[in-house]
Amino acid sequence: MLTVTLVATFAAAAAWQQWRATEVEAAQRTRVQAGWVLVGALDWARLILRQDAMTGGADYLSEPWAVPLEEARLSAFLAAGQGPAGGAPSHSDDDDAMNASLSGRIIDLQSRLNVLNLVAGGTISQPAMLAFGRLFSVLGLPQAELNLLAQNLQLALTNQAPITAPATSAAAATSIASAATNTTASSGSNDNPTAPLLPQRVGQLVWLGLSPGTLAALRPYITLLPVPTPVNLNTAGAQVLYACIPGLEMADAQRLVQQRQGTYFATLAAASAALGAKAGPLNPTEHAVSSRFFEVIGRFRLDQTVVQERSAVQREGLAVSVLWRERGVPPVSADTLGP
């Protein structure tokens, strides 16, 4: 009996090791396959944006780039690529490719308020503060966190020491002036090690004082781009339109969203005419009808495994370059293809 027990134990251990090796190999293969498919999806999206740039003009939500790709099996793409004869893929094709699915979409990042607009020329921008203040107000968020965000962003951009708690305007001004004096006195020395890090992603804005709850509420309406950008009035939601256009009421912003579904704004003059006299004047540095920055979201599914990739791209003329890419498993509770 002891011999039988030992043999059974060794056999079970060997079977488990074999199963584990098989699962690891399958996971590695899925990861590689997902990587290649998502790279192809990103290149496809860049081609769509490049073709859109060839036509020129405004960017709006009825263009091909704004149409999301619903989840589709890769076998459909393979069959379409076989030419006029069509037909199902051959039995020799990889079974994984037949079971894999791809979905995705392109989001206009200039449909959101750019956090970098809060600081212009080393000082806090009052027009941007007004826009973000209106957004915080309509979302019911604390204005003290907006003040802290702007102050710490200014300090991060100028390499100064951070502010760690919300302060009154007078105290904040004194703190910023003191930090600026210290920075001027030490010009030519090494970077200030106590300065806050400059975030590269929206999720990193907690470094500058936003609470997780506030950041979660702001995510659909803000972005963080490498340069200041205007808001595209053709793609922005009602909350962002309300925030970035002084004098506009929320009801007017919602009406504007409905109106542009039939006819997009080809120029700022057309948008101004649609707004009427109650809205403030449109400024080309704050408002636009075209975009340069986009987010590409691709999602690869193979059986129960889902891999998602988000990429930010910048379009300059006909050149579409990738600013950053991040890949991972999407949250189960979130709409991974939403803004």
pLDDT, tens only, 167-193? 444 444 444 444 444 443 333 444 666
- pLDDT at position 196: 79
For residues 310-335, average pLDDT: 83
Q: Are 238 and 221 contacting, i.e. CB atoms less than 8 angstroms apart?
A: no
Indicate yes or no: pTM above 0.85: no
For residues 214-241, average pLDDT: 96
Indicate the SS3 state at residue 156. Answer: helix
Two tokens at 167? 């302060």
Which of 322, 326, 315 is closest to 50 using CA atoms? 315
**Is a pLDDT exceeding 50 seen at residue 113?**
yes
Which of 286, 261, 292, 285 is closest to 274 using CA atoms? 261
Split at pLDDT 50, 70, 90, the class of 14 is: confident
Query: Of 38 and 88, which is predicted with more confidence?
Result: 38
For residues 228-245, average pLDDT: 96
Name which of 2-6, 63-67, 170-174, 250-254 the model is least confident about: 170-174
**Is a pLDDT exceeding 50 seen at residue 101?**
yes
Q: How far apart are CA 32 and CA 261, in angstroms?
A: 41
Two tokens at 198? 């400059």
Q: Which amino acid is at 154?
A: Q
**Is a pLDDT exceeding 80 seen at residue 283?**
yes
**Is a pLDDT exceeding 90 seen at residue 72?**
no
Angle of CA points 261, 265, 268, to nearest 5°: 150
Give the mean pLDDT of the chain: 82
- pLDDT at position 176: 43
- pLDDT at position 93: 47
Query: Of 40 and 87, which is predicted with more confidence?
Result: 40
DSSP 8-state class, residue 202: G
- pLDDT at position 35: 81
Q: Are 155 and 163 contacting, i.e. CB atoms less than 8 angstroms apart?
A: yes
Query: Of 46 and 191, which is predicted with more confidence?
Result: 46
Split at pLDDT 50, 70, 90, the class of 95 is: low
For residues 182-210, average pLDDT: 71
**Is a pLDDT exceeding 90 seen at residue 250?**
yes
- pLDDT at position 8: 79
- pLDDT at position 164: 56
User: What's the number of CA atoms in the CB half-sphere (13 Å) around residue 31?
Assistant: 9
- pLDDT at position 335: 43
